[in-house]
Structure 1
Amino acid sequence: MKTFTYAAVSPPGHGTPAMAFGKHVIRMMAANTGGAFGMLEAIVPPGEGPPLHVHEREDEFFRVLSGRFGFWCAGDYVELTEDGCIALPRGVPHRFRNIGTKEGRLMVVATPGGFENFFPIIELCKPETPEQIASVARDFGLTFLPDEDRPGKDRNIA
């Protein structure tokens, strides 16, 4: 990892759109932060969100920009609205879902950086089967899990 010694800026309205698993806007690349982190905005329709999954390389931080989201992490559950934040550790199964009635927006920071490239790669290679998606995901240290792998009964942590 290079040293992060200068400001990285993402002005309002800027970023690289990626239409993969919904709409994402890449706001900061690891290349701009010395590899320290990557940041993206996720635009999530009502009822949508990723399946249960594990990141082996990155911790994730989410801030709800708009909407209402449910977050599951290792048997814990919390609902957050605008300005709510949650940090999710690497190696722990988690997922989130827009539980509101309108499109929601999340700011997502992954550290160290690099995972922000997942969505543009998926958009570019257009995998068609779950096996093809899983293959690309493995290259990013990401594993999708069946929901029944969620440990224990969810505990409300808020």
Structure 2
Amino acid sequence: MMTFTQAAVSPSGCGTLAMAFGRHVIRMMAASTGGSLGMFEAFVPAGEGPPLHVHEREDEFFRVLAGRFGFWCAGDYVELAEGGCIALPRGLPHRFRNVGKVEGRLMVVVTPGGFESFFPIVELSRPETPEQIASVARGFGLTILPEGDRKVA
């Protein structure tokens, strides 16, 4: 991995499409920032979002680019509309959901970088069972919590 000694740029309309758990556009890879961060956009249909999960390796920053989202983190809940931001620390159970009536869009920054590669890897490996998905997730330090553990959301 190169060191982060020059600007990493993602012009408007650029990025790598990954169709895994919805549509994601990878805007900045960890390799272009010396591992400091990764960035992607998530396009989330109304009523959708990931299950409760925990990241072991990275903190996440979300900015709502379009729509309205609910964010759960540990025992807290907040709703944010376009322009709203939230930072979630690693190690805490969290999730988000598009609580609006139309597709929403999030900018997600992970630090350190690396997790942005999760979506292209899922697209390539095409896991089908919950066990296969959990195996890919574990490789990224991600734990998807079982239904019974989802008291937070």
State the AA in 1 paired with 2:65: L
1:2 offset after TM fit, Å? 5.0
Q: Give the number of equivalent residue pairs.
A: 153
For the pair 1:91 / 2:91, whether they are aligned, the reply is: yes
Structure 1 contact 74–150 (Cα < 8 Å) conserved? no
Q: Which amino acid aligns with 1:33?
A: T
Q: Is the 8 A contact 2:2 2:32 kept in 1?
A: no
CA distance in 2, matches of 1:75, 1:151: 9
TM-score (norm 2): 0.96
CA RMSD of aligned residues (A): 1.3
CA distance in 1, matches of 2:121, 2:95: 21
Q: Give the TM-score normalised by the residue count of structure 1.
A: 0.93
Contact kept in structure 2, 1:64 and 1:106, CA below 8 Å: yes
Alignment-derived partner of residue 13 in structure 1: 13
Q: Does the CA contact (< 8 Å) of 1:69 and 1:79 recur in 2?
A: yes
Identify unmatched segments of 5+ residues in structure 1: none
Give 1:98 deviation, angstroms.
0.2
**Within 5 Å, which residues of 2 pair with 1:38-53?**
38-53=38-53
Q: C-alpha offsets along residues 24-52 of structure 1, whole Å, 9 cap, x if unaligned? A: 00000000001000000000000000000
Amino acid at match of 1:61: F
Counterpart in 2 of 1:63?
Answer: 63
Percent of aligned pairs with the same residue?
80
Give 5+ residue unaligned stretches, structure 2.
none
